[in-house]
Structure 1
Amino acid sequence: MASEVLEETKKTIISRLPERVKVAKVEFEGPEVVIYTKNPEIITENGDLIRNLAKDLRKRIIIRSDKTVLLEPEKTIEKVHEIVPEDAQISDISFDDVTCEVIIEALKPGLVIGKYGVTSREIVKQTGWAPKILRTPPIKSEIIGRIRNTVKNSSKERKKFLQNLGQKIHTGSKYENDWARLTSMGGFKEVGRSCSLLQTPNSKVLLDCGVNVAANEDKNSFPFLNVPEFNIQDLDAVVISHAHLDHCGFVPYLYHYGYEGPVYCTTATRDLMTLLQLDHIDIAQREDNPLPFNTKHVQKCIKHTICLDYGEVTDISSDIRLTLHNAGHILGSAMCHMHIGDGSHNLVYTGDFKYERSRLLEPATTRFPRAETVVMESTYGGRDDVHPSRNSAEKEMMKTIYKTLKRGGKVLVPVFAVGRAQELMIVLEEYMHHGMIEEVPIYIDGMIWEATAIHTARPEYLSKDLRDQIFHMGRNPFVSDSFIKVTNTNQRKDIVEGEPCIILSTSGMLTGGNSVEYFKCLCEDERNTLIFVGYQSEGSLGKRIQKGYKEIPLEHNNKTRVFNVKMEINTIHGFSGHSNRRQLMDYVKRLSPRPDKIIVCHGDPYKTVDLASSIHRSYKMETKTPLNLECTRIQ
């Protein structure tokens, strides 16, 4: 069936292209149709032709040269340097013989692309190689380097995987799309291990697959993959909304368990997801609590990940099209719009989202082509979850920091490495730059530095104001001299014994990482301050401290010791990457088009129910609050 579809597609393409275009072959590679031609410059110079063809076929189209017309690599490198302006600052040029791509890394990739793509088209015209243009991170990123090497070194394997996937996607539906349902496998009436199974008569797609890092036992840590309707062999796709572990931490286990299919997410999510998964494995091994997967399964996940841009419509199965939209939560976070069947039903899965502009990101998208069902989070959905504005939160934080530094203390901020850390870095750099707080060292510990490097490599996901500041004003807050990377234990000892300073350290809930070690050293000095800026889940050390516990037993020098908390404890809510109650209600109000049904998840039980009942009362919408293991029919 797929071969018939491919043959029909090839005939359509050949009939629509000018006669002088020599088509060597046409292949399905995952969701894309790849056209190999002996004169690609003719097609690339006529962008409208391909855009219209893709629109008519309702498929993504990639143009590549046939191997017979490729210029030798050495001469290609010379040509690239001739064509591309020196200001682009090319850092590396390599080749992928399998995909016939020349991979160009540059500090200013926009200059490699050129205005309206003129420079990249010239590269195709003079060399035959299709340019794959990558940004050189201003801060060197070990993770991005590893990912790029993994993808490059597995090119043959990846192409075979994509070809097999393409055959599967384009086979066509066997059954009529007259129903769709959602099985709650984690993250319903709880925060952590988010996981849902979307089923249609033709497809099974997993929406997120996370872990609960604060759980005390395995049965509460991982999603319910043992539900009867879930079979790893029948799974068509995994869609990841964003990189936090409670949404992606269990994906490597799927590959350990036998999954061979794709993971769909944004490029930034792939990078950050890899960072957090590897760190999760490393911490578990150090704590002698190994996970049921290892680094080779993370590597397999990288090889099987298909990255999508916001707004890019993609077939992920025979009857489901996926489009990702900005969620405003962390870098690359996405709301997942699923177009089921030929428009028979449309589902939006919000993941975690922030419906407010921040210094780091634009607010979450509210407009979709269609949306009959919306599955939304409720982390701060309780009627009492009223947070201050971002501006008020910034002022409160600076006031707290000012007081602490004045009395000779140190400020410890346990922070999530991804999102909150970068938001705070921007704020602290801004206030110090304008002399509004004392210039003291800001120590960056744990994964924060690597996560920040990834942010610098993916500026297209940042807010417009921040992009303008980086590209037009030439001031990148992330590379400020105020920030000092912490690299070893001796340096940490000097920090806690030294002069007043600000410390940003992982983990954000004090469930592990270096923030716990800083806490032990600083908590018994009343001059110091601990500031919480993110969600503290039940069972975490952070939650106990937040509740006011003054005697905290912790392991110290291989013995349990009780630490007496004398430092000031402060919680500032306005920096959260989640929407508060008012924003959640306002988000539903502004959804366009208006959905028929809202399914509420990702929140404590009373907050989930409170938000759902308020939505029902205020907007007269049908709402549901399933428990884990429940199945909800959405069509």
Structure 2
Amino acid sequence: MKLLDLNRQGGIGANCLFVQIGGVNLLIDSGLNPKHVGRVATPDFGKIRGERVDLIVITHCHLDHIGSVPVAMREFPDAPVIMTASSRILIERMLHNSTNVMKRQKEENDIPEYPLFSHEEIDRCARRMVGLNFGMVKRFHGVDPRHEIEIVLHPAGHVAGACALEVRHKHRGIFFTGDVLFDNLRTLPGAHFPTGHFDTIVTETTRGLTEREVGKERVHEVDALIKSINDTIGRGGSFLLPVFALGRMQEILTILHDARRFGKLVDCPIIGSGLGIALCDYFDEIRRKTQHVQFNRSTLKELKLKALPRKVTPGQDPQRNGLFVVSSGMLVENTPSYALASGLLGHHRNTIGFVGYCDPDTPGGKLLECKPGDDFIFETVHVRSKVKARIERYELSGHAEREELLEFALQATPRAVVLTHGDPAARKWFEGQFAARGPDIKVLDPVPGQTYQV
């Protein structure tokens, strides 16, 4: 197998692997780097220009994995695109929203390259996208039909539609984990991977630097979150939950619904907004068509979810004595959570609680590093605030624990392991563990833009 990482900056960004297996050329994912704008945020397709791509595989619908799919399809107009049936329901909505965001960024920041693709191009691309059921064996070949591979998609947890990719060529098996979560969520069962030998494992490493403390298990973190919400409301404050629109929004709403149903959540207004609310309809459709998720749109009605006003005044505390569940999860500029945080932060009675990963360079990541009394500047809305609200973080990650990924890889007794989707230090932890526990395993941490024979 030959492998080339097209993610220009490496780490977690515009995820995209070009893989050559048995005469078949695969492109696995085609994301957009949230830290960059314009062409530099896309995979470096120039590295494989002139190469043939026989198949594009999408592991799931987060934008760091699908944000440049129409660009890839433009580059390789003959390549079919496969994904799970659930991802097929979601992908067009996610891409259309991305176009809208890029149009807004073009106007606000004068980015001439945006949007990278139009709504019309997404509609044209959709005809080439095919959804497969988990466990279905599909055969593909390159130019020469004698060179054939088998592909199977396996449930990877993480988010609705997420899959791992198993590729078989002759007697050799290669397994790409994609983004994976083994824990069951309220809305989604955990990953279900095949056991036994694989020649090569290509694994994500997101939480390589994170060791979950005893007592910080998911069930305890959910309890702590509900208690903090109750306490904040009881003190007359508001609680802001910044969430990712795809997956985390629906999971949190289900957690709140269950807590209220069993009398654990205080009676208070729950206010939501953004793409995540619109995606609730898609999750309901996935439940009805594939039984892959356990989310019913009636959850919104039973929670009596209220819509966030279209205009949120930055720097102004809304004083709703309620719970705000809005995106973005990292308090990215020009989002509802960013505007709300600028008004809530300066008051002791309020709480801002993060339930997912925050990149250190985002406003959310920077706020998590602050101490009470520090000054915090919301640059794009020109607000300076003292950190007076409680800033909390709950370990409700959508990614597997590092030990779980390590154990899965080791039980497969692979000849080689390839490390992907993780910061350098996170990958380093995995590299050290494999050196200690699987010294005969060849471990590869690919440099972007370099081709490797695995």
1:298 Cα shift? 1.7
Instruction: State how far apart, in whole Å, the 1-side matches of 2:308 and 2:383 are.
Output: 27
Pair 1:292 & 2:116 matched: yes
* Cα distance change, pair 383–447 in 1 and its aligned pair in 2 (3 A): closer
Q: After the TM superposition, which residues 84-95 of structure 1 pair with which residues of structure 2 at under 5 Å, given as runs? A: none
Q: After the TM superposition, which residues 357-376 of structure 1 pair with which residues of structure 2 at under 5 Å, given as runs? A: 357-367=184-194, 371-376=198-203
1:583 Cα shift? 2.6
Question: Which of 80, 83, 89 is matched with 1:262 structurally?
Answer: 80
Question: Which of 361, 370, 380 is matched with 1:548 structurally?
Answer: 370
Question: Which of 515, 520, 528 is matched with 2:350 structurally?
Answer: 528
Match of 2:198, as an amino acid?
A
Question: Which of 427, 441, 450 is matched with 1:608 structurally?
Answer: 427
Q: After the TM superposition, which residues 238-387 of structure 1 pair with which residues of structure 2 at under 5 Å, given as runs? A: 238-257=56-75, 259-288=77-106, 289=111, 290-318=114-142, 319-340=148-169, 342-343=170-171, 345-367=172-194, 371-382=198-209, 384=211, 386=213
Instruction: State how far apart, in whole Å, the 2-side matches of 1:608 and 1:268 are.
Output: 30
SS in 1 for 2:141: coil
Q: After the TM superposition, which residues 104-119 of structure 1 pair with which residues of structure 2 at under 5 Å, given as runs? A: none
Structure 1 stretch displaced more, 511-520 or 217-226: 217-226
Indicate the residue corresponding to 1:207 in structure 2: 28
Indicate the residue corresponding to 1:169 in structure 2: none
Pair 1:565 & 2:393 matched: no
Match of 1:396, as an amino acid?
A
Question: Which of 436, 444, 447 is matched with 1:624 structurally?
Answer: 444
Instruction: State how far apart, in whole Å, the 2-side matches of 1:376 and 1:441 are.
Output: 42
Question: Which of 560, 564, 576 is matched with 2:397 structurally?
Answer: 576
Deviation per CA, 1:212-255, whole angstroms, max 9, x where unpaired?
1123x54752212121xx13661111100000000111101123
Contact 2:200 2:417 in 1 (8 A): yes
Instruction: State how far apart, in whole Å, the 1-side matches of 2:259 and 2:158 are.
Output: 23
Root mean square deviation, CA, Å: 2.5
Deviation per CA, 1:498-549, whole angstroms, max 9, x where unpaired?
5311111111112242111111222222211111111112321111111117
Question: Which of 236, 255, 264 is matched with 1:436 structurally?
Answer: 264
* Cα distance change, pair 320–492 in 1 and its aligned pair in 2 (3 A): farther
Instruction: State how far apart, in whole Å, the 2-side matches of 1:423 and 1:248 are.
Output: 21
* Cα distance change, pair 302–371 in 1 and its aligned pair in 2 (3 A): same
* Cα distance change, pair 525–219 in 1 and its aligned pair in 2 (3 A): same
SS in 2 for 1:355: coil
Instruction: State how far apart, in whole Å, the 1-side matches of 2:196 and 2:129 are.
Output: 26
SS in 1 for 2:342: helix
Contact 2:312 2:340 in 1 (8 A): no
1:488 Cα shift? 4.5
Instruction: State how far apart, in whole Å, the 2-side matches of 1:408 and 1:491 are.
Output: 20
Higher relative contact order (CA 8 A, sep 6+): 2
Contact 1:528 1:568 in 2 (8 A): yes
Quick one: percent identity of the two aligned structures?
23
Q: After the TM superposition, which residues 2-17 of structure 1 pair with which residues of structure 2 at under 5 Å, given as runs? A: none
Structure 1 residues not aligned, in runs of 5+: 1-179, 471-475
Indicate the residue corresponding to 2:337 in structure 1: 515
1:368 Cα shift? 5.3
Indicate the residue corresponding to 1:423 in structure 2: 251
Pair 1:406 & 2:237 matched: no
Indicate the residue corresponding to 1:66 in structure 2: none
Match of 2:95, as an amino acid?
Q
Match of 2:139, as an amino acid?
D
Indicate the residue corresponding to 1:162 in structure 2: none
SS in 1 for 2:370: coil
Contact 2:201 2:409 in 1 (8 A): no
Contact 2:6 2:18 in 1 (8 A): yes
Indicate the residue corresponding to 1:486 in structure 2: 307
SS in 2 for 1:578: coil
Question: Which of 525, 534, 537 is matched with 2:359 structurally?
Answer: 537
Q: After the TM superposition, which residues 40-59 of structure 1 pair with which residues of structure 2 at under 5 Å, given as runs? A: none
1:556 Cα shift? 5.7
Rg larger in structure: 1
Match of 1:261, as an amino acid?
A
Match of 2:152, as an amino acid?
T
What is the TM-score of this pair, normalised by structure 1?
0.64
Match of 2:252, as an amino acid?
L
Instruction: State how far apart, in whole Å, the 2-side matches of 1:320 and 1:622 are.
Output: 23
Contact 1:187 1:601 in 2 (8 A): no
Which one has a larger percent helix, Structure 1 or Structure 2?
1
Deviation per CA, 1:127-162, whole angstroms, max 9, x where unpaired?
xxxxxxxxxxxxxxxxxxxxxxxxxxxxxxxxxxxx
Indicate the residue corresponding to 1:90 in structure 2: none
Contact 1:456 1:478 in 2 (8 A): no
Contact 1:416 1:508 in 2 (8 A): yes
1:397 Cα shift? 0.6
* Cα distance change, pair 609–491 in 1 and its aligned pair in 2 (3 A): closer
* Cα distance change, pair 187–420 in 1 and its aligned pair in 2 (3 A): farther
Contact 1:191 1:537 in 2 (8 A): no
Indicate the residue corresponding to 1:457 in structure 2: 285
1:487 Cα shift? 6.2
Contact 2:38 2:116 in 1 (8 A): no
Instruction: State how far apart, in whole Å, the 2-side matches of 1:389 and 1:453 are.
Output: 30
* Cα distance change, pair 383–516 in 1 and its aligned pair in 2 (3 A): closer
